[in-house]
Each structure stands twice: as C-alpha cells, then as structure tokens.
Structure 1
Amino acid sequence: MDPEDFAGGPGTIDDYEGLPCYRPGSLPPEIEYTDDLLAVYGDAQYALGRLATLHRSVDNENLLIAPFVVREAAMSSQIEGTNVTVSDIIRHEVDSPPERAAADSRDVREAYNYVDAVRQGFARLSGSGGDGDSEGISVELICDLHEVLLSDVRGVDLNPGEFREVPVYIGSPDGSAEGARFVPASPDTVDLLMDQLVAYVNRGSYPPLIDVAITHYQFETIHPFQDGNGRLGRLLMMLQLYDAGLLPEPYLYLSAYFNRYRRQYLDYLLEVSRDGAWEQWITFVLNAIAEQAIDAYDCGVELQSLRDDYYSRFPNRPAVRDVIEYVFEEPYLTAPRAIDATGRSRQAVYDAIDALQGEGIVEEISGSERYRVYEAPAVLDIVGSP
C-alpha cells in the first residue's frame, strides 16, 4: 500500500513498526444531498417499507424468517469463497443428510454459524436472548457474534471474539504487506476506533439508511478482527436496520447484491479511503437495499401464495396443514423431526406426509426404507434462487 494514494481521503496514515496503516476519519463525514442521492434514498426507503408489510400479513413469522436467514447465510458464505448453497444449509439440519450439492462439511458449518449469529443478534436486540432485557449494538455484542461466526470453522485459531493485535493485509496475492492493496487500521488503534464507531452507531447523524452505509465502510476499514470481518459487517447492517425500526425481522439479504457486484463493492470501499468518494459508496449501498428489499418482498409473496395453495388442498385436515407449515421452515424434512415440530402423533404425521407426496408437494429423496428424507421442490425453487 502506497500512503501517497490516500492523501486525498478522509483518513490518516499511522505507522506500526514501519508499516503504514490507514486510520479512517472521524464520523460523521460531510455528505452532500444531491438529487441522485435523494432519488436512490427514496427508492430504498420505499422498498424497505414495503418489505416490512410482509410482517403484518403472516401468522407464522418463521414462514419467512427461516428461508430468508438461510438465503443470507448462503450468499454471505459464497462471498468468502465457498460453494455453499441454500440446500446445503437446510440439509445440515437433517439427521443423516443426503449427499450435499456443492460444499464440504466445514463450509456448511461456516454458513450455519451465520444463521446462528443472525438469530442471536436479533434475539438480543429484541430482548428475547435469554435474560429478557433488550440491548443496543455494543462492542460486547459485536465480539460475541464474531465468536459465534468463527466457532469450529476457518479462523477458529485467530482469536474469535477478540480484536486483533496484529496488522492484516487486504488484497495481497502473496499475503505480504508489500503486495497489499490496503492495510487497515493499526492494531494499536482498533479498540479506540471500535468504541468510537459503536458510539456513532447508537447516536447517528444522518437518516438510518445513510448511516448504515457510512458505518459499514467504517467497520470494514477498521477491520477489527483477524478474520470474519466481511460476514460480521454484513450482519451488522441488518441489525442496524432492525434497531432503527426499519426491518421487523431478518428479511433482507444484502450479501446477494454484494456478491453479484463484488468488484464494485471492493473498489467503492477503497475509493472512499483514497478520495472521499462517499456519494458513490452510499448510492451503491442504497441501491443494494432497494434491490434486495424488492427481491425479498417478491420472494415472501411467492411463499405465502404457495402456502395458501397448499392449504386450499387440505381444508379439513389440520394435521396436514401443520406439516405444510413445517415444510416452509424446513424444506428438507424427516417424519421424526416433523413430529417434534408439530406435536402431532406419529401416525398423523406419516399420514400427512403420504398426503403431501400424493399431491407432489414433497418428494422422497433418500431411497431409504427406515429413515426417509423428503424435500419440497417448489419451496426450494423459491428459496434457493436469490
């Protein structure tokens, strides 16, 4: 990293044992409300508001929460270089799973850790995390979620849940400081910068959607952990939107957009540091929110419509309807797990699965006589293609 490349940016260069490290500038930056920025802000605000209406039209929130969280986990893991699919993550929940489509068990565990971290983060902000008290976004919460993300996966030996005490290098093909495209904040400043960032997250300065873009840049530029910063940074965006009252549940999977436009994502982050290109970066994030909110809304409507269609086929069979509900939460299912989830008798669940098979709603895929695994192809078609 050449320090001269960052002379026009909002930050400064710190020396760490002879290594130049970039310290982001203090928040808030000065943002000009151009017509273009206001237009995309309006689009994002509208799309997110419409997405929030899904929350009011379903009687079982897990109908949407379960597939949406899995979608985000799959996309977030793919950004990190895995081949994990939505199906891989869902199958992870099934005992004696069928052959996985594209990922080894380590990659699936990494993605499923993301599912766990999303659920824990939303639970703690809502006050349902165990002690009944809600909490704001804090350094403690950030570190705890980082520890969840890195549990038993790559990076587990890199001090999960603890801020780094060594420098890290971004975009270095050989892993060296000399080849790095960017060297984040000096380890000597990480604690202070994270305290300042969390204070800003809870105080804010601009409308929440703009502050989400600003603070995501700041988090990724600080790069407070040795590994897992990207996954955690994307999760924090959802938590901020929830904390601001703009997202009632984890319905928004921004990782799909960032994965699709990965090069622009990385370039625009760097251009803020080099040139102070805030409008370009904020516009990019607002476009991500708008596009993914539209996609999530359409997905939610499709899921509800499909569920209603399935219900209409069994108007007087409550046990079958209970299993249908479970199918949307777990599109790969087994009879024992469906019995536990629905509370229905063994015979009622087996009869329900037979009925769903007869309608083509589920298909047996394990080829086993004793331990059968079923999938719901129409549900997977909707959930599996963000």
Structure 2
Amino acid sequence: MAKVPDVAPSSWAVGWEERPWGVDASANVATQGLSRRQRMAARGPYRAAVPATIAALPVHTAAEVTAAAEDALQEITRFDAELAQGLSHLGGDSDGELAPLSAVLLRTESASSSQIENVTTGAKDLALAALQEKTGTNATLVAANVDAMQRAADLSDELTLDSMLAVHRTLLHGADYAEPGSWRSGQVWIGANAPTPHRASFVPPHSDRVVELLQDLIDFCHRTDVPVLQHVALAHAQFETIHPFADGNGRTGRVLVHTMLHRAGVTRCLTVPVSAGLLQDTESYFRALTAYREGEIEPIIARFTEAAFAGVGNGRALVSDLQSVTHGWLDVVTARRHATVWRVLPVLAEQPAVTVPYLQRRLDVSQPAAQHAVDQLLDAEILTPTSAGRRNRVWVAQEIVEALDAFAARARRR
C-alpha cells in the first residue's frame, strides 16, 4: 500500500509517495550486475511523483511572459500562412496550399523531435527509409515518427485516451520493448546512470496512477480559457511528467503540441518546427521541465516561446533554400507543358529519393512515363543514382538533401 502523498507547497508542483521496491521481476533485473554496495543502496522503498491534477488549476504568468508567448503565437500563425506561397511555382498536385512544403516540414519536425531523444538520421537516409529501402535503425524510427505526426493530423479533431494510444502505436510500431499502443505497466525513471529509481533524477508516477492523470490532462487540454501557447507548453510538460509509456514519451508528447496548435486553429499544416527550436537548447528544455515539476510554470512557457521563434526562423530559411533550388530546376528542365516531369518536381521537394515504381504509384502514371521523367531529370542533373546497377535503382535530388541537412545543422547550433 502506497503512503499518502507528500504534497508540495505549489499547486502545480508534484507531490511524492513511497512505493515498495524489490518485490517484482523488474527490480531483480535492475540490480543484476551491481556491486554489493550498490545493491544495498537500491533496497527499500523509493519515492515516486504524484503530479498535481491540473484540469481546473488557474494559469497565472507575468505580463512579459504572456506578451512574449502571444508574439510567438502570432509568428507561428504568420509562418503557417506563408506556407501557402512557398513553392507554388512548381504547380504539381497543389490544392491551393503549398503542395510539398507541409510534408517537408512534417518530416523535418519529426526528425528534430526524434533527435531530442538522440535518435538521429540524415535527410537522405530518411528519404530512403520512406521508400522502405535498407537504412539504419534510426532512419526507420524517424520514418515511424513521420507517420505518427501524420496520424496526429488525422486525429486533430479529437483528443482522447484512445487517440493518444493510436499515435503511440504508430510511433513505436515494431518496438515491442516499448509496448506500442499501451500504457506502461511498470515503474519508469529518468536518469541514464540510475539502475534503480532510488537515485534517479526523476521518478514519474506509478503505473496505477497513469490513466486517471491522463484523463485529467485531457480535460485540461479541452479548456478554452488559457492562452494557446501557454496551454500547449503546460500540457506538454504535464504529459512528460506523467510519462505514460514505457518509451517514446518525448516524441509522443511533442505530437501533442502540434495536435493542440491545430485544434486551436493556429496552424493548418501541423508542421511548424517547434521541436527544431527546442533542439537548439535541450538543456534549457530539460531544466524547464524540472522547474515545472517543482511548481514553476513560467520557464517551460518561456522555453516554448523561444523555441517557436527559433523554429520559425529556421523554417523560413529552409523555405528560402528550397525556393532557390526549385527555381533553378525550372531553368534547366525543358519539356512540354503537361509532361510528367513537371509533376515529379514537387514530389522531389517533399521526397528527395524516388524510384520509378514509386513515381508510378504516386502520380498514377505508366512505367514508361515515370522512367522518361527520371531520364529527363537525370539529363538536367537534378537526380543522381544511388548505385551503379540498373535494377531497383533509387534516384536522389541531392540539392534537396543538402537543404534539409542544413536545416538540421542549424537546429543543432546553439
């Protein structure tokens, strides 16, 4: 039986409760390979967090924090509107908004979110993974994160326990250790060098509290009396504090950010690169989460404000780079007006690695038409082959890969 929580003085701060340790298989596994002294230190009860219920808590922030967050929100809205202009010169299958850019930014945001968790891949490998070509494990994981972000877009009209599970199931598909699509069934803790929760930097709530806390969080997310960016930042911090999954909490929590921005009507594309902004100073991000758990809500709001400005700035630089590349394409491609090659160009901006069968399916054209378009782009030096063989050849738009890698490099730069 857990002890009554030791409630912290601030209403936003977590409380703590003692939980028994050493009575289940996970405890035995955690202490394997430890010295006798280390095993002694890992005996007895440990303290697990009891997060505050926040559904009805008042949100009070200093005027300057509120004003900065509002400015950042306006910047997000402006950038989202700008996406309707970005690469419209390419035409393609655009439905009135920029055809490839929403997908490009979806990918870059997914990659940045994964990189915060030290899951890193280059733009070329990510594009190859999207074709299900053989790549490294990280590229496969990031490609799954892209699917999860798209799932968030599809589910943005609802925010429920089931929709959270659906996003996690997509995000961690195939990673059985993470129990995809299931709430965690055991205790987790944060701290890479902590073999047991006794010396962890943070111990989230016990698994038997997860569902009740998440329902409270969902109730908080449905409030309409909290300014949008503050609302998003606090919901994200509470989600990370609950830590409801065995793995993938950070990436799933950042999907929640985009879901809330979309639900609030701030974005249409669900792709504003907030994670890229957080990536510029992950230490500050983690410190802000710690402050939140201690009852200070302003640091996480301020960090999201900074991330919004940084991410939008980086996103604009990427759009500029892509415009420069694709305008150059129009100068070197010569073909009749309705040739298939013109429909391939916007696809390359989104998916810079292609095969002939992929283009056949994507554009619903014949094999000869797809192959002829590839040949034209090869002659124009827009595409290059990834291997010398003729069978199952993959073609890459290297200039797009370089623009995307430059975006990632800027996101990592302090």
Question: Which of 1 and 2 has higher RCO (CA within 8 Å, sep 6+)?
Answer: 1
Instruction: Give me the whole-angstrom Cα distance separating, in 1, the residues matched to 2:216 and 2:6.
Output: 26
Q: Cα 1:314–1:336, aligned 2, differ >3 Å: closer, same or farther?
A: same
- Measure the CA separation in 1 of the matches of 2:77 and 2:336: 36
Partner of 1:351: 372
Secondary structure at the counterpart of residue 306 of structure 1 = helix
What residue is the counterpart of 1:120 in the other structure?
Answer: 151
Cα distance in 2 between the residues matched to 1:6 and 1:93: 47
Which residue, out of 137, 151, 161, partners 2:173?
151
Q: 1:364 deviation in Å? A: 1.9
Match of 1:93 among 96, 120, 130: 130
Residue segments in structure 2 that go unaligned for 5+ positions in a row: 21-44, 89-93, 408-414
Please give the TM-score of this superposition, normalised by the length of structure 2.
Answer: 0.81
Matched with 2:51 is 24
Report the 3-state secondary structure (helix = DSSP H, G, I; strand = E; otherwise coil) of the residue aligned with 1:14.
strand
- Equivalence for 2:391: 370
Q: Does the aligned pair in 1 maintain the 2:130–2:143 contact within 8 Å?
A: no
1:74-111 CA-to-partner distances (Å, cap 9, x unmatched) read: 222222223322222211133655xx4xxx2x322221
Please list the CA deviations of residues 95-134 of structure 1 after superposition, one character each: whole Å capped at 9, or x if unmatched.
Answer: 655xx4xxx2x32222121111111121132xxxxxxxxx
Q: Look up the equivalent residue of 2:322 and give its one-letter code.
A: L
SS at 1:92 equivalent? helix
- TM-aligned CA deviation for residue 63 of structure 1: 0.6
Distance 1:160 1:249, change over 3 A: same
Residue number in structure 1 paired with 2:221: 201
Change in CA separation of 1:217 and 1:204 when aligned onto 2, cut-off 3 Å: farther
Q: Secondary structure at the match of 2:47?
A: strand
Partner of 1:14: 17
* Cα distance in 2, alignment partners of residues 110 and 31 from structure 1: 38
| CA shift for structure 1 position 23 | 2.0
Q: TM-score, normalised by structure 1?
A: 0.87
Asked if the contact 2:178/2:248 (under 8 Å) is kept, the reply is no
Which structure is larger by alpha-carbon Rg, 1 or 2? Answer: 2
Would you say 1:307 and 2:334 are equivalent positions?
A: no
- In the alignment, the residues of structure 2 paired with residue 95 and residue 225 of structure 1 have an alpha-carbon distance, to the nearest angstrom, of 27
Q: C-alpha distance in 2, partners of 1:45/1:96?
A: 38
**What corresponds to 1:43 in structure 2?**
71
CA 1:358–1:122: 2 relative to 1, 3 Å: same
Contact 1:54–1:300 under 8 Å retained in 2 = no
Q: 1:45 to 1:308 in 2, by over 3 A?
A: same
* Paired residues of 1:177 and 1:183 also in contact (CA < 8 A): yes
Which of residues 278, 288, 303 in structure 2 aligns to 1:284? 303
The equivalent of 2:336 in structure 1 is 316
Q: Which 5+ residue runs of structure 1 have no aligned equivalent?
A: 126-134
Does the CA-based 8 Å contact 2:120-2:139 persist in structure 1?
no
- Answering whether residue 369 of structure 2 is matched by residue 338 of structure 1, we say no
Distance 1:96 1:114 in 2: 17
1:116 match: secondary structure: helix
Q: Using the alignment, how far apart are the partners of 1:4 and 1:171 within structure 2?
A: 22
| Larger deviation, residues 54-63 vs 40-49 | 54-63
Task: Tell me the percent identity.
Answer: 25
After superposition, what is the alpha-carbon deviation per residue over 1:4-24, rounded to whole angstroms, capped at 9, x for unaligned?
996666221123333322222
Tell me how far 1:374 sits from its aligned partner: 1.3
Alignment of 1:251-290 (within 5 A): 251-274=271-294, 276-290=295-309
Match of 1:140 among 140, 143, 162: 162
